[in-house]
Amino acid sequence: MARFAGGKAPFLRISDQPNQGTGIIMRDFMIGLAPVILFSWYKNGIQVMIDGNIGFFEMLYPLIFILLGGLMSLIMEGITLYIIHPDSRSLKGVMAKLSTSYPMVPGLLLAMVLPLYTPVWVLIFGCFMGTVVGKMLFGGFGHNIFNPALIGYLTIAVTLTGVINAAGGVFNASEVLVDSYAGATPLTLLSRIKELDYDKLVAPYGTLWNFFLGTIPGALAETGALAILVSYGWLVYRKVIKWFTPLIYVGTVFVLSWFIGIASGEPGIWFPLYSILSGGLMFGAVFMATEPVTTPRNPLGKVVFALFLGVFTVLFRYISTLPEGVATSIVFLNIFTMPIDNWTAVIRARGIKKQTAIKASVFAVLFIALVLYAILKAGSMYTAFIQGPIGIGGWF
Amino acid sequence: MKVFFGKHGFILILVAIFVLIFGLGGVYSRFMTSELEEHIEENATGAEYALYLEMFPGADTLTPYTPGEVSKTYPLAGGRGDFAPTVDKALKILQGTSEKGVVYVINTKGKEPMKVGVGISLENDACVGIAVLEQNDTPDYFSQLGDPFYSQFDAKALSDLALAVDTFAGVTYSSKAFEIALFYARELYAADYDFVIPTVAMTLVKLEYNFDPTTFIASPYIANIIYGDQDTEAAVMLSASFDYVGLVGGGTDLEADFQAAVKALAQGAGTLNTQANFVSFDEENNTLVMQTKGYNPNAIQASIVLNDTLDIVVSITFVSMETYANQGGYGDYTGGPAPAVENNLRNQYLADGDPNVDGVAGATVSSNAVRSLLQLLDGFVEAQNGGE
């Protein structure tokens, strides 16, 4: 059934009303980032200084690094605007454009998903790739196809991981002294040992409670599940993001991981919890899968997008050389945002009828096929799964 | 100029900020990396120093110092030539201002290079502990060295002439590394402090295998020595760990100092390959059981049937052998399962009677082990002199 706005005309644009515009959304988004930024600073700076492992200036680094990311993105966007818009080559002209384009967000998000000891020049390079290449070359805010922060992140991950590791890598000065970590984050460990064993995957980092609090090794801000949930609550409350997008995304990974665990002879709920609390899944689900420009705009589109994100994340975690699958899956699905948006808008407006059944079927078939493939690919990682009673690992 | 800056000043400021952040950020990043490296090193040093302080109850401070220069060489286990240990650092151990002892961190060698810290107490001139800092020996072997082995260093008097380390069965190479470190630490200690290394007048003339089937189990080695003021000659039977057992043919035992001296000299000689040894001899069936150690902690054991005069090998059967599978040292080995290597070398020996058989590609350690066994066997057969 077609859906139209009810009530009497005239219909006013909400964004034109006081306290409802883009600037307010940006403000709320920045407030939403604050708990995660502060957690990151606490975990990688303040707590490490309390442990006696770093000094004052090292303690400040995580905070400065994240803020620098935002600042560099702002500067790069300002310079780019100056270059490509000769008619607005003034402070006022550039500021007017910057005020509505979320210029700091790509850099902030990028810095938050990078390891602590990433050299600043690498961050600047990532900001350039994200802001200039991923955003401005597509026409700026509202026109970019890919999530700018993730363009920067993936470029760095592919080309400069060695540089980051040589500079100190992902472990803060307290974590680097913990023998049980053995130089690996939880997901790196999983990709190394390829075995579902609580004692090997979780115990080295404490318990799942540590995973929830975020006191485990990982990129600057990605580990703080609790802080991310606080941000999620705020952003949903302020209606900056839809509540169901992160929930469906994380939920899909949870269910798929649980199934993989069961098929591998490890039915405990610890593995799905481990899967959603490890790496950047929670962070990506709340701050990147909800990005308004590069993801579908209608609710059904968001649901479909989130479902596919969950499947692709699991898939990329087990078939990619990178242990993390969040960034790759979001950027990959950004390509399909427009068709998903268009098709789901039609389905949503007309309901499941003859004309829309094919489109819905395509989504359903694709989804089921990918789910099966993801489970099989993940299952092939584990001997128990291949040799287990189900034996579906032998199909391929 | 004013017009130019009026028009482009804004962007120039942005670019200037960009360049400033790029430069200062680089310095900040470099600072972070160097600080992290320093923290890691400090922590490692802290953990290392804690090990040393544990050796000296009540001690609270360590002070690095430059030890005296000592140059010595010691034979490596398995007849692999001589090795000159070096001192990595030396630390005085203090309790308040009172000096309690010293720790020498020594680069020694087992199968591979090893670094150990040797703690020596000034109160009683004794080794009070040893700490392994780095080692790369075969894990299967090295992991067998547990508390019983390390506890011998808890109160080992340096006045003991032999100062020998009781080797853990089958871990000869690594055990030797500790012994070299201990000997060298004693030399350093003597150079730094008022300590005299005990000496006894004795010369080791010859060290050889004992091929007498009635005694070679308990005393696999015989040392010919000249000792004392009168240059007395003697043939001494020694155990597998070179402990004094008795004189060949009986007689009055040597005094304790001489017993310790012969052990020290025999251990230090390094002229015998101790990889293989006799296990038993069945006189009725002329069957000799021998064993040798390869890559695997499980010994390769062979049952050897000899003729009536004991001077011809009739057959060699391997009753337990090396496991090739899942062994890091068998990466290039492409032959059959055990005992393929053992049988290959045995067949060579039985064919031409030469114990210096060719090794099997990719199984060097096992080949060396079996070759040692065959050489010892060949020596035994030759020594029987036709059974007379």
Q: What tens-digit pLDDT sequence spans chain A (396 residues)?
A: 444 555 566 665 565 566 666 778 888 999 999 999 999 999 999 999 999 889 999 999 999 999 999 999 999 999 998 888 887 777 777 888 888 788 999 999 999 999 999 999 999 999 999 999 999 999 888 889 999 999 999 999 989 999 999 999 999 999 988 877 877 888 888 877 777 888 888 999 999 999 999 999 999 998 999 999 999 999 999 989 999 999 999 999 999 999 888 887 778 899 999 999 998 999 999 999 998 889 998 999 999 999 999 999 988 887 776 667 899 999 999 999 999 998 888 888 887 777 788 888 888 898 898 888 887 777 655 544 433 333 332 222
Spell out the residues 6+ positions from residue B71 whose beta carbon is closer than 8 angstroms to its own.
B84
If you average pLDDT over residues B17-27, what whole number do you get? 91
Looking at the DSSP bridge assignments, the partners of residue B303 are B289, B317
Mind telling me how many Å the CA of B25 is from chain A's nearest CA? 5
User: Are the CB atoms for B59 and A92 separated by under 8 Å?
Assistant: no
Of the partner residues A68, A71, A117, the one whose CB lies closest to the CB of residue B33 = A117
Residue B45 covered by a domain: no
Of the partner residues A61, A78, A90, the one whose CB lies closest to the CB of residue B28 = A61
Residue B337 covered by a domain: yes
Handedness of CA B345, B346, B350, B353 (dihedral sign): positive
Residue B322 covered by a domain: yes
- The b-or-e profile of B213-249 (16+ CB within 10 A means b, else e) is beebbebbbbbebebeeeeeebbbbbebbbbbbbebe
Residue B172 covered by a domain: yes
The one-letter amino acid at A305: F
Q: Does B40 touch chain A (CB under 8 A)?
A: yes
With residue A335 as reference, give the H or E element that holds it.
none
**Cα–Cα dist A378/A366, whole Å:** 18
Closest chain B residue to the Cα of A167, Cα to Cα? B33
User: Among A108, A145, A103, which Cα is nearest to A123's?
Assistant: A108
Q: Does A160 touch chain B (CB under 8 A)?
A: no
- What is the side-by-side order of every strand in the sheet holding B86-95? B61-65, B86-95, B98-109, B113-121, B126-135, B156-157
A307 CB neighbour count, 10 Å cutoff: 18
Last residue of a domain, one of B244, B269, B294: B269
User: Are the CB atoms for B176 and B54 separated by under 8 Å?
Assistant: no
Q: Looking at the structure, do residues B79 and B188 belong to the same domain, yes or no?
A: yes
Residue B23 covered by a domain: no
In chain B, the number of structural domains is: 3
Q: Does A20 touch chain B (CB under 8 A)?
A: no
What pLDDT is recorded for position A115? Answer: 94
Q: Looking at the structure, do residues B305 and B346 belong to the same domain, yes or no?
A: yes
Of the partner residues A72, A82, A167, the one whose CB lies closest to the CB of residue B29 = A167
Highest mean pLDDT among A93-102, A242-251, B54-63, B169-178: A242-251
CB distance A64–B28 less than 8 Å? yes
Residues 330-349 of A with CB under 8 A from B: none
Two tokens at A202? 């979780």
CA distances from B234 to B203, B255, B259, B268, B272 (A): 11, 13, 12, 19, 19
Q: Looking at the structure, do residues B130 and B218 belong to the same domain, yes or no?
A: no
Last residue of a domain, one of B241, B269, B297: B269
CB distance A64–B17 less than 8 Å? no
Residue B219 covered by a domain: yes
Statement: the pTM of the whole predicted model exceeds 0.80: no
Structural domain span for residue B259? 202-269
CB distance A167–B32 less than 8 Å? yes
Q: Looking at the structure, do residues B252 and B325 belong to the same domain, yes or no?
A: no
Q: Looking at the structure, do residues B363 and B280 belong to the same domain, yes or no?
A: yes
Q: Does B34 touch chain A (CB under 8 A)?
A: no
Residue B15 covered by a domain: no
Of the partner residues B25, B36, B43, the one whose CB lies closest to the CB of residue A117 = B36
Two tokens at B75? 């034979």
Which residues of chain B neighbour A90 with C-beta distances below 8 Å? Answer: 7, 10
Q: Looking at the structure, do residues B67 and B185 belong to the same domain, yes or no?
A: yes
User: Are the CB atoms for B64 and B89 separated by under 8 Å?
Assistant: yes
Task: Report ipTM for this prediction.
Answer: 0.79
Which residues of chain B neighbour A55 with C-beta distances below 8 Å? Answer: 35
Kindly report, residue by residue over B205-246, the tens digit of the pLDDT: 888 899 888 888 889 999 999 888 777 889 999 988 888 999
CB distance B29–A94 less than 8 Å? no
Spell out the residues 6+ positions from residue B368 whose beta carbon is closer than 8 angstroms to its own.
B275, B294, B359
- What is the per-residue DSSP string for A153-190? HHHHHHHSHHHHHHHTTT--TTGGG-GGGTT--HHHHH
Closest chain B residue to the Cα of A177, Cα to Cα? B40
Mind telling me how many Å the CA of B328 is from chain A's nearest CA? 19
With residue B360 as reference, give the H or E element that holds it.
none
Q: Looking at the structure, do residues B259 and B280 belong to the same domain, yes or no?
A: no
Q: Does B8 touch chain A (CB under 8 A)?
A: yes
Residue B22 covered by a domain: no
